[in-house]
Chains A and B, each alone.
Chain A
Amino acid sequence: MGTTAVMERPAPGGMAKTRRRRVMGLGTLLAVLVAAAALSLAVGARALSPAEVWHGLFGAPTSDQRLTEIRLIVETVRVPRTVLAIVAGIALGVGGALIQGFTRNPIADTGLLGVNTGASFAVVSVIAVFGFSDPFQYVWFAFLGAAVAGVVVFGLASIGRGAGNPLTLALAGQGITVFLMAMTTAVALSNQASLNALRFWNAGSVAGVGFDVIWPVTAFIAVGLVLALTTLPSLNLLNLGDDVARGLGVNIALSRTVGITAITLLAGAATAACGPIAFLGLMVAHVARHLTGPDYRWLVPCAGLLGAVVLLVCDIIGRLVVRPGELDAGVVVALLGAPFFAVLVWRGKFRSA
């Protein structure tokens, strides 16, 4: 991703072939995502047939006890978690690709700007201070904590001559993350209610959140996505180095500000709704780069779709492995995704550039 990124393997057959491969790849991912979404509606503690899912989605109200029950399951449990998995997956995938681009660091993850620890700190704090017990009460505090952390990190990295340069940004993010982690632990160790909430919060999950939370979260993520898409052309140039980008007419400060705002919105909103889901953004950014090449205009949409597919599939798997209980999607992403990713790394699929 550094200055060598543009030197990546030219595809045999030139640009037309590359473009065809990218379009095919995105199309395939989209098809997989639709299939996974359908599966997500049918699978769970109670397996449903396609006809039953159809009725649950579009059926008219009936007096039939069984059908009413099915409608209830589909409408109040499966549809929300499916939508959230897709939305949060897209947000974390796009966020992961962007943070690696803007920090020029291939081991940056969506938590780097402090959004995960900012959210965690907010959660343990409001529980310690106000004694909230219901997750719905602290979703917005979590989002606020994430956003404040992101703003503080970017502000600190932009002081003076910094202008949010990649290295300063990464290290400032790391420093603030460290500090917030310490504060979170300090609060949790002195308050048992906080500690109890923190352990459940840390296992990122897409379940148990209603549309009253999902819609506003989706709105924030939509804004983040629009901002993200506007930065992609300049992000390509930024990765040629600041001097080259400046010479080609990129407004570096503006581009970075918009980019970091997008990352904060995307990762912050996803984290507020699900809790911290680590590793997903880092992983799909690398896989997407391998699939599309270094052009961020293709890499970022691909990372978003991959993020949605991985999070959704992991949520489905989590519902199946320890029935009647469930494994949280965030835990499954790490348990299954990480070994898969490690194999790809070992086989030399990813270059450091």
Chain B
Amino acid sequence: MNVTEVKPTLPPGVRLGRVSFFWRPWLVGVSLLLAAAAFLVFCVSIGVGDFPIGLPQVIRTLIGRGEQVDEFVIMDLRMPRALAGLVVGIALGVSGAITQSIARNPLASPDVLGITTGASAVAVFLVTVSGGAAAAVTDTVGLSAAALAGGLGTGLLVYFLAWRRGIDGFRLILIGISVSAVMEAITTWLLVTADIRDVAQAQAWLVGSLDDRSWDEVQVALWGTLVLLVVVAAVAFQFKPMHFGDDVAAGLGVRYAAVRAVLLLCAVLLAGVAVSAAGPVPFVALVAPQVAMRLARCPTPPMLASGLVGALLLIGSDLVARAVLPVSLPVGVVTAAIGGPFLVYLLVRANLR
């Protein structure tokens, strides 16, 4: 079933030796604008805090020519958090674009591939169950690491459960929804039986947050995302013809089974990386590709632009949460509160045209 209504209008093609691609000036322009906006918000975000730093000083510090005090505040205190937002946003956006493209379904997102729900179940278990093995795990490996292991474990479980003579987007999503439902039920039940004081802590963790990020956590996510993006970029060119369906792709000589398997594995791992740095931030992966697709006027979610929208959404929400809102809210709440309505606005605007 094809719900994305692919309209194969063909823009002019470009061929450079063995590499060929469509020349979509609108997509390139929108991507550049998004990148510039993301960089600008990133710099503003670094400057905002108890010790405000102006935008020129921020940029000067970033290129290594700033004052010593600015350098300390930015590099040691604020950079990890801002970078975490950037990396998580890109990872979630690209992960969502891959999942939605392969499943050819705009409701498909890494949120239902089990990574988020698996990580949540493990984290809530560790927060709400006191003593015994839970305490031992929390003390030795830490909550974030244990949750990440749970998330990746669940994600890979879904991936291999869905493997039957290759991987198929629709089957992966249905299995993912099933496994996610089990994990959510476990989480719900843990919260019902828990002490109310622990519930607040668990609930705050469940929506994802960028508070108190250390350089170590960020570095793992940064390198993980970079490596995965390189892999995605390498196989993405092979992926283009797949929008026309498996038969056409096969006819064009794409080894689509292999490409699909690699890309979906990257989507799972990217979502895992995001969880490692910010916890289970919901909906960015679902909303960002759909927003990017409409901004860039593409028939399918564009990967790079989706990542940039994700980054902009996350860094922007973090900025709003820290600088604008009167109460302190986790970044995941703000991304959802901004991202959801913005997607609806784009839909309505398209219908009015």
Contacts and interface: CB of A to CB of B under 8 A. Distances in A.
A200 B1 CA distance: 38
B203 interface: yes
B184 A278 contact: yes
A190 B351 contact: no
Interface in B33-49: none
A18 interface: no
Q: Which range contains the number of B residues in contact with the other chain?
A: 35 or more
A346 B348 contact: no
A105 interface: yes
Nearest to B197: A192
Contacts of A6: none
Contacts of A353: 1
A342 B106 CA distance: 21
B141 to A, nearest CB: 27
Nearest to B107: A107
Nearest to B200: A195
Nearest to A196: B196
Interface in B147-192: 161-162, 164, 170-171, 173-175, 177-179, 181-182, 184-186, 188-189, 191-192
B290 interface: yes
A338 B182 contact: yes
Nearest to A180: B340
A4 B199 CA distance: 47
B191 to A, nearest CB: 4
28 contacts: A1-B1, A106-B170, A107-B173, A162-B348, A167-B4, A168-B347, A171-B290, A174-B107, A175-B339, A176-B340, A177-B340, A178-B282, A178-B287, A178-B336, A178-B340, A178-B343, A181-B283, A182-B336, A189-B200, A189-B330, A195-B203, A199-B191, A279-B181, A335-B186, A338-B178, A338-B185, A341-B174, A346-B162
Given A161-B352, A171-B107, A333-B185, 18 more contacts: A2-B1, A5-B1, A108-B107, A156-B347, A156-B348, A171-B290, A174-B107, A182-B340, A185-B336, A186-B337, A199-B199, A278-B181, A278-B184, A335-B182, A335-B185, A338-B178, A342-B174, A342-B175
Interface of B: 1-5, 105-108, 112, 161-162, 164, 170-171, 173-175, 177-179, 181-182, 184-186, 188-189, 191-192, 194, 196, 199-200, 203-204, 207, 282-283, 286-287, 290, 327, 329-330, 332-337, 339-344, 347-348, 351-353
